[in-house]
Structure 1
């Protein structure tokens, strides 16, 4: 039996009531209090997440920009120093290798953040297309990542640093921020649909940083949060999860992140031909939101029918803690994707009615 990997924060999960599960080979907290409480804390106040299982690579050298342009769907040339960009990396057929964030430090120095379950696969893919003048390094084991998310995130974190956090606007970052003696890269990004920051620090600083942030957030009732609420939060905000909304069979455009696919950029990139065709000629299937009409929860993998024909599958679904409705994301044949279309979801032995609705299910005011 393989041993589960642990983040630098594993040792203190117990102090905050963390209940851990096997998450893609990692021993991670699914919740600390309850998923519902943690979800509400992030929507209304703030929550702190350990996301140190995520992967980090550096791409350095005189050819770094050209190399990334060839690998990713977005346009790296539009990135300014101190800015981040959400993008996807595709195979030649347009299927998704991963979705990721690129941080531009300088013209020749980038930080790439990838999904935990894809670290080895992504590194191999990027390494196999390496060019002269580029140095690719996997620094995942050296870096810890904390995410403080919610409307009070800035107020709490600001107590711990003299850096003016209000100057770090959405998808911008600052490197070398001093947080009570720990140096960190702080970016205004997240995976919850709320305002907040992701903090990249040395793994040795993770435990003390976690404690200091939790202490600073006491008056604001900051909660330690686990993977359960992270999933319900990202789902309500319609942020894709690799392995569900994005896979090697599902393109970024089918998944609904076409805004991160720049088929008109000069540089050729993997999947460009297929993705250009999908943008110009339309799709055969795409992911849409469903709201249950009948009583039942649409879970990942449940089949979707119209009459006796299967027309799709649920990629993610739950009872939305914010909306108190049973909703799902489903990959459906294109003719069944217009708003208000009625479909049926196979929930165990019953077929239950649902209808296509607008997404995101939740958008912050």
Structure 2
């Protein structure tokens, strides 16, 4: 099966991007180098082509009520111009994907709209399932990205730059707030959300292909650092942000994944997976996702065994060398009895047990 390419493929390659397969797409893993890209986002501003992600629009009468049947978080806690992070569940309470839900408000007196951003690897299956669930209730599910561009502008200087490009005061736009912006030199208004996957401030921007290419070049001309999947992974892991299929999957429930705060069982809504989550809440999680710091420079990778007193007790889901902290960090599932902060464990790396300590998440939090 051939790999898909985003509208920014040639732009990325021209900027020095080294392209690799990822979730069915050919994407840049790095440009100038992972450490340089990582530090640019932490200290200044960087940009990412994230056009492989899925972007759907749900329209119809009471779209929140309809989507609420699939999501354990109370969608009525957000209003127009706001958004929330949540998960889609299966009947066993397992996580079939994580997503962001944006409330776009009323279209007219009878209809409203939501925008959903979903993971690339799950985009086709999510779209088909959402249509299967929503269309019988009279709602439409539309791919609004199509062949367009989704671009992430991230870092402490990101919002100032976006404010300059839009000519609007964005100081009142809260985290997870969103609005349409007219950016200089572009043909159409841009869906702009103060969200991201790096632990820094910034925005995610949805544009048509031509405008996306223009904005990419405009940002390059302003010395914004292009960043690849490598820096995206180290940044999100420092912020302890989950990667779907590694840190959680359809066999993991939100309580196990440290996402119990997304589950609002006080809602009088019979959402998919509710019964399983009620049982899980009562019995407690069978495992917990914890943060680990390792001694030395050895890096724990996905699927490496976690040990305690010589016995395998868990498994690493994500691990890296943290460029910000200059330490090896990881996320791992362990039994609840070993999840307490300060617990001494080890990770088996190339046949050797490397000491590790359970630490608080996130590993990094911006000031």
Instruction: Place the TM-score, normalised by the shorter chain, in its bin.
Output: over 0.9
* Contact 2:293–2:358 (Cα < 8 Å) also in 1: yes
Unaligned runs of 5+ in 2: 107-111
* Residue correspondences, number: 360
Select the residue among 250, 267, 275 that pairs with 2:277.
275
- Quote how far apart the aligned CAs of 1:294 are: 5.1
Residue 82 of structure 1 corresponds to which residue in structure 2? Answer: 81
Residue 109 of structure 2 corresponds to which residue in structure 1? Answer: none
* Contact 1:41–1:223 (Cα < 8 Å) also in 2: yes
2:149 aligns to what SS in structure 1? strand
Residue 213 of structure 1 corresponds to which residue in structure 2? Answer: 219
> Is 1:342 aligned to 2:344, yes or no?
yes
- Quote how far apart the aligned CAs of 1:112 are: 0.6
Residue 208 of structure 2 corresponds to which residue in structure 1? Answer: 202
Alpha-carbon displacement from aligned partner over 1:275-296 (angstroms, at most 9, x marks no partner): 2333344211010011113552
- Quote how far apart the aligned CAs of 1:213 are: 2.2
Select the residue among 148, 158, 161 that pairs with 1:156.
161
In 2, Cα distance between the equivalents of 1:90 and 1:236? 26
2:79 aligns to what SS in structure 1? coil
* Contact 1:295–1:352 (Cα < 8 Å) also in 2: no
Alpha-carbon displacement from aligned partner over 1:122-154 (angstroms, at most 9, x marks no partner): 112212222322111223424311111000011
Select the residue among 350, 361, 366 that pairs with 1:364.
366
RMSD in angstroms over aligned alpha carbons?
Answer: 1.5
Residue 150 of structure 2 corresponds to which residue in structure 1? Answer: 145
Residue 53 of structure 1 corresponds to which residue in structure 2? Answer: 52
Residue 112 of structure 1 corresponds to which residue in structure 2? Answer: 116
**What are the within-5 Å matches in structure 2 for residues 1-365 of structure 1?**
2-107=1-106, 108-130=112-134, 131-182=136-187, 183-215=189-221, 217-218=222-223, 222-293=224-295, 295-365=297-367
- Quote how far apart the aligned CAs of 1:65 are: 1.6
* Contact 1:63–1:132 (Cα < 8 Å) also in 2: no
* Contact 2:7–2:148 (Cα < 8 Å) also in 1: no
2:312 aligns to what SS in structure 1? strand
2:217 aligns to what SS in structure 1? helix
In 2, Cα distance between the equivalents of 1:205 and 1:140? 13
Using the size of structure 2 for normalisation, the TM-score is 0.94
Unaligned runs of 5+ in 1: none
* Contact 1:161–1:180 (Cα < 8 Å) also in 2: no
In 2, Cα distance between the equivalents of 1:265 and 1:309? 41
Residues 165 and 214 (structure 1), Cα distance of their counterparts in 2 relative to 1, 3 Å cut: farther
- Quote how far apart the aligned CAs of 1:303 are: 0.8
2:129 aligns to what SS in structure 1? helix
Residues 177 and 80 (structure 1), Cα distance of their counterparts in 2 relative to 1, 3 Å cut: farther
In 1, Cα distance between the equivalents of 2:191 and 2:234? 26
Using the size of structure 1 for normalisation, the TM-score is 0.95
